[in-house]
Amino acid sequence: MLVPASIPNWFQGKDAIIDFVSIFVLVLVSYFSVKYYKIKKNKNNLSLTLAFSLLIASFTFKILITLGIYYNFLGMSHLGFGKLTISNFRSLDTFVFLMYFTYRIITLFGLYHLYRIYKPQSKSCFFLASYLMVVSTFFAHYANFIFHLSAFVILLLITLHSIERYKKKKYPSTKLLIYSFGLITISQLFYTMMEIGMVYYIIAEFVQLFGYVGLLLTFIAVLIHGGKKNETRYHW
Amino acid sequence: MAEKRTRLDIIGDMLLAVANKGGRIKPTHLMYKSNMSHRQMKSYLEELVEKSFVKRTSKDNCKYILMTEKGYNFVNKLLEIKEFEKTFGL
């Protein structure tokens, strides 16, 4: 089993900072989405907020786990991030197990909820997807990469849908959004490889950081272009 | 087929029509520009005046509708929301 020592000293704690940045971006977009909902009553704005709120919660759990490992809360220091498996679960508090489980399931539900905004699902599809997400979260305790692979698949579908939308409408900000979602999707691919070496974990964190910075830039572009007059005329 | 306009869409169309005419428009022009019947426009206009987004004025025996600062701010907010929804596909 890999231990935290595999992560170079210079990077320890930096991952928590990267996750804080991601949380900041998600909170910012969610805040404006709720604000817009209050004006326009578009339910999709609320759905986006719900999806992002779930991701905020999942990042919070991830930060708690990461800090727990680095600062040895509840005797977690012998674990590497994402390394909790059924075999070493016996020696740990149930609380830690629940933290991992909650982090993983909330992430998947958050991403799936985001996907549902673009591709509305029937109730039966929702139950089937929920079941599969619970199963993959459970098996992630045996092999962590299953969780990241599931996240990768959902993110890939979201990115592909954004590409489809961009091809139809050609909104420049959507292009930026595609890059952001694309980077976040690729980061999941690197997370799946962290069993091979913790260097992939570091790469994944940085790719994720770029992805969320991209999301921030997308949102800034929305604010800039949104209120801008086009050739001295106002357009929808 | 185009989707039915919501109440906010209609208000947005009216305010955009005024803004595109430099903040001052004749009521008849507003009616044509925002694709509304006279009765519809009367009711929506009342609401816009009530909310201080526009005000009525007259010059040389002609009636005009003037956009207020609050109206401009609201148009900008609506454009921002539209851009947000277009970008995120909401």
Output the pLDDT for position A210: 96
The answer on pLDDT for A46 being more than 90 is yes
B48-77 per-position pLDDT tens digit: 899 889 888 888 888 888 889 888 888 888
**Smallest Cβ distance to B88: which of A39, A48, A234?**
A48
Q: What's the pTM? A: 0.83
* Cβ pair A161:B89 closer than 8 A: yes
**Measured between CB atoms, does A217 come within 8 Å of chain B?**
no
Q: Taking CB atoms and an 8 Å cutoff, what residues of chain A touch B86?
A: 169, 171, 173-174
Closest Cα in chain B to A224: B80
H/E stretch holding B66: strand B62-67
B19-34 per-position pLDDT tens digit: 888 888 888 888 888 8
Closest Cα in chain B to A215: B88
Domains of chain B are 7-84 (1.10.10.10)
Q: Taking CB atoms and an 8 Å cutoff, what residues of chain A touch B19?
A: 234
Q: Taking CB atoms and an 8 Å cutoff, what residues of chain B touch A33?
A: 84
| Proportion of chain A above pLDDT 70, given as a percent | 84
* Cβ pair B87:A177 closer than 8 A: yes
**Measured between CB atoms, does A33 come within 8 Å of chain B?**
yes
Tokens linked to A185: 């999707």
Distance CA(A19)–CA(A108), nearest Å, equals 16
Tokens 């993983």 belong to: A104
Angle at A35 between CA A33 and CA A40, to 5 degrees: 85
Distance CA(A119)–CA(B39), nearest Å, equals 39
Output the pLDDT for position A162: 93
Distance CA(B18)–CA(B30), nearest Å, equals 7
A186-214 per-position pLDDT tens digit: 999 999 998 888 889 899 999 999 999 99
Q: How far is A182 from chain B (nearest CA, A)?
A: 14
Q: How far is B78 from chain A (nearest CA, A)?
A: 8
Output the pLDDT for position B79: 87
In the sheet where B24-25 sits, what is the strand order? B24-25, B62-67, B54-59
Asked whether the beta carbons of B6 and B13 are under 8 A apart, the reply is: no
The identity of residue A185, as a single letter, is: T
